[in-house]
Amino acid sequence: MLVLLSNLQSIDMGTLAGSNNLDLIWTLNHITDKARAKRFLKNFENRLCVYSPSVSQLYTRYDINLPVRIEDSLVVFPDYQDITATYSHISSQAIVSTNIFLVPGEAMRQEGLFIVIKPKGTTKPLKAMPLMQGLKKVQQAFGHQDPFLPIIMKGGLREIGQKIPCLNLSRIKLSALDKCSKLECISIRGNIIEKLGLLEADCAPGNVAAAF
């Protein structure tokens, strides 16, 4: 779904997003190659849940809109018609930032999608692993009781090196969802894990390379 904007003077980006939720309007002023970054992000549409802290909601299905005449922004459109596609009462205290990034293989002169872990010490080298190998390593590190359940949110789309886009992951901490029932937590966990499986298929070397 692509929105054609014929009159920029009358555009209200909040209305464009279907609400006044600015969490769903991602400005790209910090990105040099905006078109490339947008194409990269489209790889993860409906494959990584999007979190909005201002309304405490987690969106599992959505469209990423790329306005053709507003080059420095994109808009996330949640599927509001399906009530099962949105989880509410997701406290921001349950959302944890990480030093884990999704990076296209071209950054390492390879194909496919990689997980890059940025060590806390700035002098230490980055650790890069192919997507599923990296996810397994991360999951093992977190363990079953506090699983690594990645999500994305505004500010996560960034750029490294020679204008190469990357995506900084956040994670949801189930034990901190004090306003969600046990069944809701199970549902959130299952939904995210299922999407990671779809992401593995989508981001095979040939598929990701074709997005650039």
**Two tokens at 131?**
């997507």
Give residue-wise pLDDT tens across range 132-172: 889 889 999 998 889 999 999 999 999 987 789 999 999 99
For 185, residues 6+ apart whose C-beta sits below 8 A from its C-beta are: 174, 177
CA distance 115 to 199: 13
Predicted structure pTM score: 0.85
Report the SS3 class of residue 203: coil
Give residue-wise pLDDT tens across range 35-57: 889 889 998 999 999 999 999 99
Report the SS3 class of residue 85: helix
